């Protein structure tokens, strides 16, 4: 599975340059995935780079695997969503020598399986509980997941095997996962979804992480900015800025919830209005 994934990623990355050849050669090409935190932090960075660092930006939306391959091949300049040390360890192992770690954007991120609080109160508190026929039947033998290329998806498949669960992982987009969660909660139905912090759904719904005594889904993670080799020489100020960005995960959750309630653009506008001092600090750091 890994070999197929990475081969597909390389082909997709190579196609990025052909698909967007009209972009300015001196634009910074930032890869991003349609995950709530990735979208918000990427749009914040896009605006800072363009408005404060006077550098053009091209945003390239693609899955996470082509982003790593794109950085390694020089088709992308920057990405702001590298989950380390566990979630993206396969990509770091494959491409780590060909890309550059610019620094940590935020800490205390977490992966796990989430359930509505009412199921938790009914006794579904651990992944081990899913070994019981009662929960297997109530959940129709399904865990609602996200996109196939995500590290969380790989780890969730491993978790099903590690715990010996008779469950299928439903692979879909982040939006499809949250739609399924919303539908189940409105109907008071049973559901388990793959999830992570930060994410707006943790502010929108009363959710609980299932205990993971085998730690199959890993522990605390840090989110890093990564670039292609040579990016620091070509765009020193932008690379320095990416290394200066630091945001508290609870604050990030607040703006992601606002993004879901209103729009990402509105949340970014609010961030620039309310967190102007923080942005000034990032820019000053980049220029020192």
pLDDT value of position 283? 97
pLDDT value of position 86? 87
Work out the number of other CB atoms within 10 angstroms of the CB of residue 130: 24
pLDDT bucket at 120, cuts 50 / 70 / 90: very high
pLDDT at 200 over 90: no
Beta strands in 163-258 (DSSP E): 168-170, 193-197, 207-209, 221-228
End-to-end Cα, the chain, rounded Å: 45
The average pLDDT across 139-164 equals: 94
- Overall fold of domain 111-209: D-Maltodextrin-Binding Protein; domain 2 (3.40.190)
In which residue are the tokens 């999830």 written?
A: 195
CA neighbours closer than 13 Å in the CB half-sphere of residue 190: 18
Residues of the chain with CATH 3.40.190.10: 2-9+27-108+220-287
Work out the number of other CB atoms within 10 angstroms of the CB of residue 85: 13
Architecture of domain 2-9+27-108+220-287: 3-Layer(aba) Sandwich (3.40)
pLDDT at 16 over 60: no
pLDDT value of position 24? 56
pLDDT at 36 over 90: no
pLDDT value of position 18? 35
pLDDT at 202 over 90: no
The average pLDDT across 62-84 equals: 96
pLDDT value of position 220? 86
Residues of the chain with CATH 3.40.190.100: 111-209
CA proximity to 174, closest of 153, 189, 155: 153
Q: Cα separation of 177 and 192, whole Å? A: 10
pLDDT bucket at 150, cuts 50 / 70 / 90: confident
pLDDT at 147 over 60: yes
Q: Cα separation of 229 and 234, whole Å? A: 10
pLDDT at 6 over 90: no
């Amino acid at each position: 599975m890994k070999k197929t994934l990475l081969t597909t990623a390389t082909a997709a990355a190579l196609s990025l340059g052909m698909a967007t050849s009209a972009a300015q050669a001196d634009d910074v090409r930032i890869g991003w995935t349609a995950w709530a935190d990735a979208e918000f932090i990427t749009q914040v960075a896009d605006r800072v780079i363009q408005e404060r660092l006077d550098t053009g930006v091209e945003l390239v939306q693609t899955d996470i695997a082509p982003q790593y391959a794109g950085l390694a091949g020089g088709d992308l300049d920057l990405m702001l969503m590298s989950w380390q040390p566990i979630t993206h360890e396969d990509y770091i192992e494959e491409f780590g020598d060909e890309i550059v770690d610019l620094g940590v954007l935020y800490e205390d991120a977490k992966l796990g399986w989430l359930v509505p609080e009412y199921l938790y109160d009914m006794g579904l508190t651990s992944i081990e509980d899913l070994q019981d026929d009662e929960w297997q039947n109530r959940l129709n033998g399904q865990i609602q997941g996200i996109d196939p290329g995500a590290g969380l998806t790989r780890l969730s498949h491993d978790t099903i095997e590690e715990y010996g669960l008779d469950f299928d992982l439903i692979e879909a987009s982040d939006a499809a996962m949250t739609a399924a969660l919303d539908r189940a909660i409105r109907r008071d139905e049973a559901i388990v979804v793959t999830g992570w912090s930060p994410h707006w759904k943790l502010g929108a719904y009363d959710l609980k992480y299932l205990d993971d005594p085998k730690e199959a889904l890993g522990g605390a993670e840090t989110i890093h900015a990564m670039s292609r080799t040579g990016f620091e020489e070509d765009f020193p100020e932008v690379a320095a800025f990416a290394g200066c960005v630091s945001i508290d995960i609870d604050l990030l959750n607040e703006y992601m919830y606002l993004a879901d309630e209103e729009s990402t653009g509105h949340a970014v506008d609010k961030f620039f209005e309310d967190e102007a001092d923080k942005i000034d600090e990032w820019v000053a750091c980049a220029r020192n």
